A and B are shown apart, each in its own frame.
Chain A
Amino acid sequence: MDALMNFGQGIFGGAWPAVWTLIKIVLIVAPLMLGVAYLTYFERKVIGFMQVRIGPNRVGPWGLIQPIADGLKLLLKEIIVPSGSSKAVFVIAPMLAIAPALAAWAVIPFTDTLVLANIDASLLYILAITSMGVYGVILSGWASNSKYAFLGAMRSAAQMVSYEIAMGFALITVLMIAGTLNFVDIVDGQNKGMFADMGLGFLSWNWLPLLPMFLVYLISGTAELNRAPFDIAEGESEIVAGFHVEYSGMAFALFFLAEYANMILVAALTSLLFLGGWLSPVGFLPDGIWWMFAKMSFVLFLFLWFRATFPRYRYDLLMRLGWKVFLPLCFFWVIIVGAWMISPLNIWN
């Protein structure tokens, strides 16, 4: 590693830190894009299996080349800009959707040392960046000059705002018990306590003491992602494809990439905040990045499972769930956790 640093220093001189950061960005984004491609494959296979069919199996062995073929196809297709649309906004919107989905990865740690930017306000950064994603959706719906797209955008805006609050509160409880906004510290904080000492680490992770908040976070996360059963912004059978109904080719693909990159992001956040990140569930196995990936895969599998199982919510029912169920529950649980922390039963000191 030192040799590499000296080598880089020698070639690039003072520009080396910037170049090194760029290299790291590529090292995160490239596998992420590959992950997105194969998440679509995973989704089609898993849902296919749940629906008594086989999924893609024509392109390459077991259909493994299918995502690449899909990507190529979308790249080669024409991007049709509707004549009545607001052209500049129409083109910018997909970029606005994909940029935050990628930028958020800057602060995600994969192990306690493997992280691009180990900043103290990483959780805050995530909240700020992911909130930006809704602009892509709203602007695309507005710029398309289509009633279906507009309805999708309006729904999406209302949904994101409502669920961001519930999600924020769920995260506040994590903050309270961790006492830090730094992901590495949050994960390390989950590695202590009675069960961790007994070698049963998975029981000391945040999901158990914060079980209601874990569920709220998982459900709000699904809603934030516009994934089934909360996919009202797309609403296949109602508003056709919602906000991206007028998009084609790579512009459409960017929305698609953003959605799936966000899925992986929420899966990563869930594993970091509630499932102990890279920590091993039991004492006799070593910690490591593979645990992180295993937990992310599990959460991703949950998203797919939801999609294959549930009917879609209606717009007003979704609002009701967010405001009338999750929000009061969060308020209540924040108070409970606060009281728990100052009581003698506190398990987080």
Chain B
Amino acid sequence: MADIRNYTLNFGPQHPAAHGVLRLVLEMDGEVVQRADPHIGLLHRATEKLAETRTWVQSVPYMDRLDYVSTMCNEHAYCLGVEKLLQLEVPERGKYIRTMFDEVTRILNHLLWIGCHALDVGAMTMALYTFREREDLMDAYEAVCGARLHAAYYRPGGVYRDLPDRMPQYRESTWTSAKKAKELNDNRSGSLLDFLEDFTDRFPKYHAEYHTLLTDNRIWKQRLVHVGIVSPERAMQLGFTGAMLRGSGIAWDLRKKQPYAAYDKVDFDVPVGVNGDSYDRYLVRMEEMLQSNRIIKQCIAWLRANPGPVITDNHKVAPPNREAMKSNMEELIHHFKLFTEGIHVPPGEAYAAIEHPKGEFGIYFVSDGANKPYRMKIRAPGFAHLAAMDEMAKGHMLADVVTIIGSQDVVFGEIDR
């Protein structure tokens, strides 16, 4: 009798569902996965090492390149870490702006996730619908910092500048007629806050569209329900955080448990799953988008009513304003020192973590008092999630591996760092 052996299937790194550069070596028995072995490191850029040779502020844009779909949240964790070492208080308005943009980022991330997840499962229209909404939020990014993806907006001590009073406008071009441009500029006529408010009013309608397309779709349910089940105990042992942990039924959310920025002052709920399967994680993330929408609304109301500084006035950390620098010796010295040497952070160590769209994103610093970190360690949520791939995929079919990758919401920028 012939010897029946399992075969190995090389899944990625060049694969449509590899979410970048995931390489899985799958041991298969026919269509059934016996063992899934994720190989990582194909996007490794030594961010942690690079940070050791750059001043504290210079590393902020590197954070954008970690999880490149939720850039501002990465910066937030970094800035919180530096502020913890400096024992620096961020102005209230800065905190609210950070909260608002963290939630904008969360919606951006989840929109990309649901689009790609649905695309992996075969419903390709979702991806294009979510990108329509992402476009609006990207415009908000662009208005506030000039970049649509790699923001570099947060700074240790606050945010780089206050919210703008006007939005970037569409101009007439070969592809955009004057009428079309006017139409597109319709909700861009006011300030950034007006624009975001308009978006938060529209978003629940879009959100309902996604539910119509997917939530009760029989095929979608058949593909997701009971796929990649993780029990609550196992989820904690594996170091899951974020929606992966909440999908398994554990109500753990750093925004509630260890409030940072203005999260203790806004009202929101934490959705929790029951079965710990892909479908529950899907529902949890869907609901998180609505909660983020709620938080954004509250932040907009507060920000409208409370003008003020957005970055600390400690000029050892944040640059003085331009006018003062030009007319005042003290400020000039501060400016010069800040832009040549950078911030000096007192010796010590600190760990700061935030509820990143993907889970607990933490930065651990060791400082020796120099103008650079002595060591920086990044705690990426996706790393722990991907490590559970074998356990989640075992015994499922090849198509389920794709579902599980989608429901883990992995992005290789942060896993490989």
Chain A positions within 8 Å of B, measured between CB atoms, are 47, 50-53, 147-148, 151, 155, 228-229, 231-232, 235-240, 307-317
Contact = CB atoms under 8 A, between A and B. Distances in A.
A140 to B, nearest CB: 19
B15 A151 contact: no
Contact of A316 (B9, B132, B397, B401): B397
A50 B127 CA distance: 12
Given A51-B128, A313-B219, 20 more contacts: A52-B129, A228-B122, A229-B219, A232-B399, A235-B399, A236-B122, A237-B119, A237-B402, A238-B17, A238-B401, A240-B16, A309-B123, A311-B118, A311-B217, A311-B220, A312-B219, A314-B399, A315-B398, A317-B219, A317-B222
A52 B128 contact: yes
Interface string B67-105: 000000000000000000000000000000000000000
Nearest to B120: A237
B125 A50 contact: yes
Interface string B129-145: 10010000000000000
B251 interface: no
A124 B267 CA distance: 68
Given A52-B129, A235-B399, A314 B222 contact: yes
Given A51-B128, A240-B16, A315 B399 contact: yes
A228 B125 CA distance: 12
Contacts of A235: 399
Contact of B128 (A53, A147, A229, A232): A53
Contacts of A308: 124-125
A314 B220 contact: no
Given A310-B219, A315-B399, A151 B128 contact: no
A305 B122 CA distance: 14
Contacts of A314: 222-223, 397, 399-400
Contacts of A311: 118, 121-123, 214, 217, 219-220, 223
B25 to A, nearest CB: 12
Contacts of B339: none
Contacts of B401: 238
Nearest to A155: B31
Contacts of B220: 311
Contacts of B402: 237-238
A92 to B, nearest CB: 26
A210 B121 CA distance: 33
Contacts of B129: 51-52
B213 interface: yes
A151 B129 CA distance: 31
B302 interface: no
B7 interface: yes
A151 B121 contact: no
A235 B403 CA distance: 13
A240 B17 CA distance: 8
Interface residues of B, number: 31
A237 B59 CA distance: 36
Main secondary structure of the interface of B (DSSP, over half): helix
A115 to B, nearest CB: 38
Contacts of B214: 311
Given A311-B220, A311-B223, A51 B31 contact: no
- Residue of A51, A229, A311 contacting most chain B CB atoms (<10 Å): A311
A155 B129 CA distance: 31
Given A51-B128, A51-B129, A240-B15, A315 B31 contact: yes
A236 B121 contact: no
Contacts of B122: 228-229, 231, 236-237, 310-313
B47 to A, nearest CB: 29
Contacts of A238: 17, 398-399, 401-402
A285 B217 CA distance: 40
26 contacts: A47-B125, A51-B124, A51-B125, A52-B128, A52-B129, A53-B128, A148-B9, A229-B219, A231-B122, A236-B122, A237-B17, A238-B402, A240-B16, A308-B124, A308-B125, A309-B125, A310-B123, A311-B121, A311-B214, A311-B220, A312-B121, A312-B123, A314-B223, A315-B397, A317-B219, A317-B223
A147 B7 CA distance: 9
Nearest to B227: A314
Nearest to B10: A147
Contacts of A52: 128-129, 132
Contacts of A147: 7, 9-10
A237 B400 CA distance: 11
Interface in B7-34: 7, 9-10, 15-17, 31
A228 B122 CA distance: 8
B407 to A, nearest CB: 13
A184 B212 CA distance: 42
Of B124, B128, B397, most buried by chain A (CB within 10 Å of CB) is B124
A177 B169 CA distance: 65
Nearest to B405: A237
